[in-house]
Amino acid sequence: MPTKIEGVKLYNIIETAVELDRTPQTIRNYIKQGKINPQRIGRNLVFTKSEIDKTRRENEYKRV
């Protein structure tokens, strides 16, 4: 379940993988390739819903 801070939902790598229907390793590869931009909170990488939606739109566009 995503964490909510000041009204913003934050997803960890596993939750992001589920949202994008990918594996956690694929999400890590996307980070290295610059396809998705995480935010760092302490030692944790988190993703906003808007970043996940942006990545989803870009990947759907490339498939067509």
What does each of the 64 residues of the chain score in pLDDT, given as a tens digit? 888 888 899 999 999 999 999 999 999 999 999 999 999 999 999 999 999 999 999 877 565 4
- Fold for 3-63, please state it: Multidrug-efflux Transporter Regulator; Chain: A; Domain 2 (1.10.1660)
pLDDT for res 41: 92
Gap between the Cα atoms of 5 and 30, Å rounded:
24
pLDDT for res 64: 44
Instruction: Map out the domains of the chain as residue ranges.
Output: 3-63
Pairing state of beta strands 3-5 and 8-11? antiparallel
Q: What is the pTM of this model?
A: 0.85
Using the Cα atoms of residue 15, residue 24, residue 38 and residue 34 in order, give the sign of their dihedral: negative
CA atoms within 13 A on the CB side of 51: 22
pLDDT for res 61: 54
Q: Which residue has tokens 């694929």? A: 26
